Chain A
Amino acid sequence: MKSTKDVFSFFFSLAKKSRKTKIFFVLSFLPVFIAFVVKFSQIFQLSRDIEGIYIFNNMIIAFYLQFLILILALFYGSSVTSEELEGKTLTYLTTRPVSKSAIIVGKYLAYTVLIIFIVTLGVVFSFLVLNLNDLLDVSLYKILFRDVAVLALGLMCYTAFFTFVGTILKRSIMFGLIFSFGWENVIQYFPGSTQKFTIVHYLKSLLPSVSRGRFSFLLFRLEPSSTGTSVFMLFLIAAVFIVLACVLFTYKEYILKD
């Protein structure tokens, strides 16, 4: 536990300063910029008055859930192992009195917490800008809280999956892109039980109100699982992939090229 905490603080402070984090931080603020544009056009009556929460819901589905959290989880999750191999820094970690599992879990937690923070910040700012006129409406904050929680669960789950992928595959980014924008985006619309083989199915099952949005047709085939099942499945998937990543990282031999 102490080792995991030490690895966590090592990589959390390192990742905070990385160029990658700065780029993704800017990317996660893209919806905030869009929110500002929408709000200004509403203020100056350049567009028709659409409810802020309506735009926010669509933003969560179209940008955050189906794009940003996948990209963030892919680039951070797969780098848990791959950046140590490519940067040839793995030796510095594996010659310390910390278990290889602690390295994986510590790095995974550091990156997950960091990307949850990045996403939350963008979501909260977008929400505040889009709902500037209704900031005293408490019911809206429940939606905000729920959306942030779903995105955090999504990040936890996808990052665990990509951490595992990064421990087995050298070219994990290519596989990750195919998985994210191929498998996850296609299989979720299959009828019956097939859609339950995607992570996004359980995430969307936690977002009932989303059908009110313009992109509700995207959920046409969604046969949602119950909230309890969805949350359980998301935790289970994350735990299984992290355990698999730890086992693989412990017993696999990584040869750094000279």
Chain B
Amino acid sequence: MTAVIQTQNLSKWYGNVLGLSDVTLEIEPGITGILGPNGAGKSTFLKLITGQIKSNIGSVAIIGQPIWNNFPQFSNIGFCPEQDSFYEEMTGWQFLTSLLRLYHLPTAEITEKADKALDIVELTEDKHRSVRSYSRGMRQRLKVAQSIAHDPEIIILDEPLNGLDPLGRRKIIRLIKEYKGEGRTIVVSSHVLPEIEAMTNQIILIHQGKIFAQGDIHYIRDLIETHPHIISIKCSDPRQLAQKFIQNDFVLKVNFDLKKGTLLVETTNRDKFFGLLPSLFVENQIEVEEITSPDDNLQAVFDYLIGK
């Protein structure tokens, strides 16, 4: 398959701060997930490939053409920025039609495309309301709508699921998958692993401005699985529970967080751990309030991977 987006030794600094370092990659049609903790360089990468900012070193090419100041390229690109900003005086309808007008389309086509995009993100009923009065989720959906309204071949979405409720997330994920089926190129960034996992297998792990790993998500999952996990349990008798856990060889450590009143268990095998958990609660008549995995976030995953 031919690469749609190509970067060569792409590097960006903000003064003395490194934004992105020596990124060389090729993105093909389909969904590519850009995964990394906050501040990893995801947005910098997306801003570079959409020509929002200039690279200090290296180059970006979209369908073989440079992107910086190459405005005709944008007929074929849709970009959903991360920041929650709009022309607040406008209604959702005015916002979309005004932006569509910049594609030099006839009025009838503008109306048709705006209606279609609003229908896709389910904002038709609220299209004549001021953007200022929209909820966070509606604003997010409107941002997605403006990136797809002109029917682009390349769709670049920076944290598109932020602020959406579970139903909204599912709808946007389904939409992204539909676009993949049409042979388009979609680049989606997120700092939440399950979000990316729900959309694609192809991921690029980015951390501290560098591409940390690239490829199939199962490879990353396997890497993660080989490292210990911390599970936090808030229950009626944490000491008794700790005593039971420590007898198992897959439990490495138990700790008490006195402030929160929780038990922290470090395990090398999540499956065995969660398999044992219900029986321990029942047998020992322990009431459980909350089970969370404090390291089930990307920063912790990266810390594992880079061996911190």
Chain A residues contacting B86 (CB-CB under 8 Å) are: 89
B173 at interface (Cβ–Cβ under 8 A)?
A: no
Chain B: number of interface residues, binned into ranges: 20 to 34
B59 at interface (Cβ–Cβ under 8 A)?
A: no
- Establish whether residues B104 and A2, one from each chain, have CB atoms under 8 Å apart when the complex forms: yes
Q: Which chain A residue shows the least CB distance to B99?
A: A92
Interface segment, one of B70-78, B190-198, B257-265: B70-78
Chain B residues contacting A93 (CB-CB under 8 Å) are: 102
CA A125 – CA B90 in complex, angstroms?
Answer: 30
Chain B residues contacting A9 (CB-CB under 8 Å) are: 101
A137 at interface (Cβ–Cβ under 8 A)?
A: no
A58 at interface (Cβ–Cβ under 8 A)?
A: no
- Establish whether residues B85 and A87, one from each chain, have CB atoms under 8 Å apart when the complex forms: yes
Known A-B contacts A14-B89, A89-B86, A258-B83; the reply to A250 vs B69 at CB < 8 A is yes
Chain B residues contacting A250 (CB-CB under 8 Å) are: 69
Chain A residues contacting B101 (CB-CB under 8 Å) are: 6, 9-10
CA A100 – CA B71 in complex, angstroms?
Answer: 8
Chain B nearest Cβ from A103, distance in angstroms? 9
Chain A: number of interface residues, binned into ranges: 20 to 34
Q: Which chain B residue shows the least CB distance to A10?
A: B98
- Establish whether residues B102 and A6, one from each chain, have CB atoms under 8 Å apart when the complex forms: yes
- Selected from B71, B75, B87, the residue in CB contact (under 8 A) with A99 is B71
Known A-B contacts A94-B51, A253-B53, A256-B83; the reply to A100 vs B98 at CB < 8 A is no
- Selected from A97, A251, A255, the residue in CB contact (under 8 A) with B74 is A97
B146 at interface (Cβ–Cβ under 8 A)?
A: yes
A98 at interface (Cβ–Cβ under 8 A)?
A: yes
Chain B residues contacting A7 (CB-CB under 8 Å) are: 102
Chain B nearest Cβ from A16, distance in angstroms? 9
A66 at interface (Cβ–Cβ under 8 A)?
A: no
B232 at interface (Cβ–Cβ under 8 A)?
A: no
- Establish whether residues B104 and A95, one from each chain, have CB atoms under 8 Å apart when the complex forms: no
Chain A nearest Cβ from B145, distance in angstroms? 12
Find the residue from B71, B81, B98 having the highest chain A CB count within 10 A. Answer: B71
- Establish whether residues B85 and A96, one from each chain, have CB atoms under 8 Å apart when the complex forms: no
CA A95 – CA B103 in complex, angstroms?
Answer: 11
- Establish whether residues B102 and A3, one from each chain, have CB atoms under 8 Å apart when the complex forms: yes
Known A-B contacts A91-B52, A95-B74; the reply to A14 vs B83 at CB < 8 A is no
B93 at interface (Cβ–Cβ under 8 A)?
A: no
Known A-B contacts A17-B89, A98-B102; the reply to A88 vs B83 at CB < 8 A is yes
A18 at interface (Cβ–Cβ under 8 A)?
A: yes
Q: Which chain A residue shows the least CB distance to B152?
A: A95
Q: Which chain B residue shows the least CB distance to A257?
A: B83
Chain A residues contacting B73 (CB-CB under 8 Å) are: 97
- Establish whether residues B52 and A96, one from each chain, have CB atoms under 8 Å apart when the complex forms: no
CA A88 – CA B104 in complex, angstroms?
Answer: 24
Chain A residues contacting B77 (CB-CB under 8 Å) are: 95
Chain A residues contacting B53 (CB-CB under 8 Å) are: 253, 255
B81-120 at interface with A (beta carbon < 8 Å): 81-83, 85-87, 89-90, 94, 98-99, 101-104
- Establish whether residues A14 and B98, one from each chain, have CB atoms under 8 Å apart when the complex forms: yes
Known A-B contacts A91-B79, A258-B83; the reply to A96 vs B89 at CB < 8 A is no
Can you name 26 A-B residue pairings with CB atoms under 8 Å?
Answer: A2-B104, A3-B104, A6-B101, A6-B104, A7-B102, A10-B102, A17-B89, A19-B89, A87-B85, A89-B85, A91-B81, A92-B81, A92-B87, A92-B99, A93-B102, A95-B51, A95-B78, A95-B79, A96-B99, A96-B102, A97-B102, A97-B103, A98-B71, A253-B53, A255-B14, A256-B52
Known contacts A2-B104, A87-B85, A89-B86, then 8 further A-B pairs from the complex at CB < 8 Å, ordered by chain A residue = A3-B102, A87-B87, A95-B50, A95-B78, A96-B71, A250-B69, A253-B53, A256-B52
Measured CB to CB, the residues of A under 8 A from B are 2-3, 6-7, 9-10, 13-14, 17-19, 87-89, 91-100, 250-251, 253, 255-256, 258
